[in-house]
A and B are shown apart, each in its own frame.
Chain A
């Protein structure tokens, strides 16, 4: 009986995706054509939402510089599960055009779990819609479980994040606490990196913005 309920939930999740309208890099210019009249994505049930708390899908469009990656991590951890990540454009796959750059991340998979990559520079709106439809099929069949991987392997992801952002890296979200609450702890959730995080964790101050 619970399985039928799960199937129904997955069916509805596949048919109603809320994408986070967070335009990370240059690939974001392909999103307005997907949303507007010509390649309408609302007929597939996909709507844009403005805050991570309301959204299901994080579209990482384009290159992620280290500055952006910090904000992407903060955004990703604020989203409610089940959440999916689509890496659009070749820069998320293997560095793309900026593969020699010291300031962009090459393999997005090291920092947060990615469900689907859509290659191209930029992929056309038809390619983006085809990718979204593939994601919908994967959600419906139950394969799109990468959000659980974040909790299962938090130590690995945290280690890579600390390598880039420094050992003082912390987010407002208590990932291990959430994993404990929802029963998603795995053997690889804790490790050396989470120990380092626990040592340096301090209550966060508001960010100081200066120009």
Chain B
């Protein structure tokens, strides 16, 4: 087989492979793996995070704006310390509130951010002071059951 034709086929093969990798990277995968350069990190403390997982989305008005990067237990306050990485395009006031919501009845849990009225904006390393914990289904059922038995006793 002549040399040029051989080069051509191998070139075509390599090009096809590279196109396939680019296709997988751009079309199949999401690009939400946030770039470190244009994000900022804020901390939020929760009494109970329910089933929140690392890499869960951070949403505001239903739009994904960041990810949960780490979840730890604070050794002194016994609260869950959740680090949120947020896209630098979006800014929230310092009195913004964070809550843990569930998408759908049995869906995944995510952190919901709502902005407040302050003029000053959250910066890298700030802490969100207004938080509401996850709704734990077991506690809710427990309350209903005790409420029912209390009203039944009357």
Asked if A and B are interacting partners, one says no
Binding site for B on A (CB under 8 A): none
Binding site for A on B (CB under 8 A): none
